[in-house]
Amino acid sequence: MNNNLIEELIKALKKFPGVGEKSAWRYFFTLLNEEEGELEHFGDLLIRLKKEVKKCPSCGYLELGGRCEFCSDPYRDKSKIMVVSYIQDAMAIEKTGVYHGLYHVLDGVISSSKGTYPEDLNIDGLKKRLNEEVKEVIIATSPTIDGEMTAVYLDKILKKDGLLITRLAHGLPMGASLDYTDELTLIKAMDNRRKVDEENA
């Protein structure tokens, strides 16, 4: 019996993050119980994915033809660019509904352990976007060692008169209990403490 199709499908399913042998088989049986038409549709979506979903030539966000929904939106505030590591990060910020500027996706972080250097990231594209209209660059890399290093690097190379370079605040996450908070976060929260009457200003 030729089991190739099954084996290859299990192999493909195991590429999803966190999916091992057991989950792959559960997924396989889920697929096997689908209608044939549904599977053909799913297969077709995968085949079309790379052909139709591209990255915005300006900011690196997802787009399906031309520029992304932010860069092509005349109502977004073009004086602010938030620099994120990944498309998902921009999506998370966007869900808050309070940011109306543009984004720039680096597509990674500078990481000596992973061997990712500045030239591997979409930094040249960012520099090119910093025209007179841009007044603030908000660095929103994650508060990890690599994210911090990337932020420091960007701050250094982007610095110029008339451009404000900021970083998302570090501190206690809302709803956290102090005794479960790690030391580094507590230190950052103390360092960055604010006067109570400024807090909601």
User: For binding to its own copies (CB under 8 A), which residues are involved?
Assistant: 1-3, 5-6, 8-9, 12, 15-18, 23, 25-27, 29-32, 34, 36, 38-53, 62-65, 68-69, 72, 86-88, 91
Residue 134 or 141 with smaller CB distance to its own copies: 141
- Taking the complex as a whole, how short is the minimal distance between the CB of residue 52 and its own copies, in angstroms? 5
Cβ proximity of 139 and 122 under 8 Å: no
Residue 14 or 170 with smaller CB distance to its own copies: 14
Residue 9 or 189 with smaller CB distance to its own copies: 9
**Among candidates 120, 127, 126, 128, which has minimal Cα distance to 146?**
120
- Taking the complex as a whole, how short is the minimal distance between the CB of residue 94 and its own copies, in angstroms? 13
- Taking the complex as a whole, how short is the minimal distance between the CB of residue 81 and its own copies, in angstroms? 20
Residue 4 or 131 with smaller CB distance to its own copies: 4
133-145: b (≥16 Cβ within 10 Å) or e: ebeebbbbbbbee
d(CA 79, CA 67): 18
Three-class SS state of 24? helix
d(CA 20, CA 105): 30
Cβ burial, residue 189 (10 Å; 0-12/13-18/19+): middle
Tokens 């451009």: give the residue.
163
d(CA 10, CA 165): 47
- Taking the complex as a whole, how short is the minimal distance between the CB of residue 96 and its own copies, in angstroms? 16
Residue 131 in tokens? 């025209």
Residue 43 or 118 with smaller CB distance to its own copies: 43
- Taking the complex as a whole, how short is the minimal distance between the CB of residue 97 and its own copies, in angstroms? 17
